[in-house]
A and B are shown apart, each in its own frame.
Chain A
Amino acid sequence: EAQVTQNPRYLITVTGKKLTVTCSQNMNHEYMSWYRQDPGLGLRQIYYSMNVEVTDKGDVPEGYKVSRKEKRNFPLILESPSPNQTSLYFCASSSRNPLSSYNSPLHFGNGTRLTVT
């Protein structure tokens, strides 16, 4: 089954304790992205990756890191989490061709609800 898998689903941590949220897709997609969702703000893009070893900042990258060493994995790293990073996080992937004006829709994971105290 084609899917994007995020882990963990729920995470409670304390300020300053480094954490990693994993994301894996089995559709051989080039493009992967991280979003955070906050009430009233919709989804805001944190980082995205066009392919292996190619990453770029989204709209709210501060406090986050990513890496793309393999095509299927795109982990989100919070080196020193703070309470304002409490949010619902989504990983997504798609098949995107930068030479084309048409880009395929995003496939989303089921989300990771992070609470930082």
Chain B
Amino acid sequence: SQQGEEDPQALSIQEGENATMNCSYKTSINNLQWYRQNSGRGLVHLILIRSNEREKHSGRLRVTLDTSKKSSSLLITASRAADTASYFCATDAGDYKLSFGAGTTVTVRA
């Protein structure tokens, strides 16, 4: 069953702007992960945040997790054309499944 749901479904921004997308989920989790997918290719892992963490950074990426609201956000700062992709959150509830949402499609305009 689909656990995470991303919002918005699509996002179009100018190069240099920040992009923010959100993920909501339904059940308790061990960790939440964000992945990027370029044009029908395989997903690439970006960042993992554990349930006892509230914020994590990796380069231009910032992820927050609010377990009380069962939500997470991914912020991409100073976006570039190469950031154009679909972004998926995935929740790990410790049951050997990783449940993905439907994704947010980000378009960065030059």
Contact = CB atoms under 8 A, between A and B. Distances in A.
Contact of B44 (A33, A45, A108, A113): A108
Interface residues of B, number: 26
Contacts of A107: 45
Interface residues of A, number: 31
Contacts of B92: 103
B104 to A, nearest CB: 11
B50 interface: yes
Interface stretch (A14-22, A34-42, A62-70, A78-86): A34-42
A44 B102 CA distance: 9
B39 to A, nearest CB: 11
Interface in B28-55: 30-31, 33, 35, 40-45, 48, 50
A42 B42 contact: no
Contacts of B41: 110-111
Contact of B1 (A43, A59, A96): A59
B31 A90 contact: no
Q: Interface residues of A: mostly helix, strand, loop or mixed?
A: strand
B31 A50 contact: no
Nearest to B6: A42
B43 A42 contact: no
Interface in B95-110: 96-103
A88 interface: yes
Contacts of A109: 42
Contact of A43 (B48, B96, B100): B100
A101 B95 CA distance: 10
A108 B43 contact: yes
A74 interface: no
B88 interface: yes
B102 A102 contact: no
B30 A58 contact: no
Contacts of A101: 30-31, 50, 94
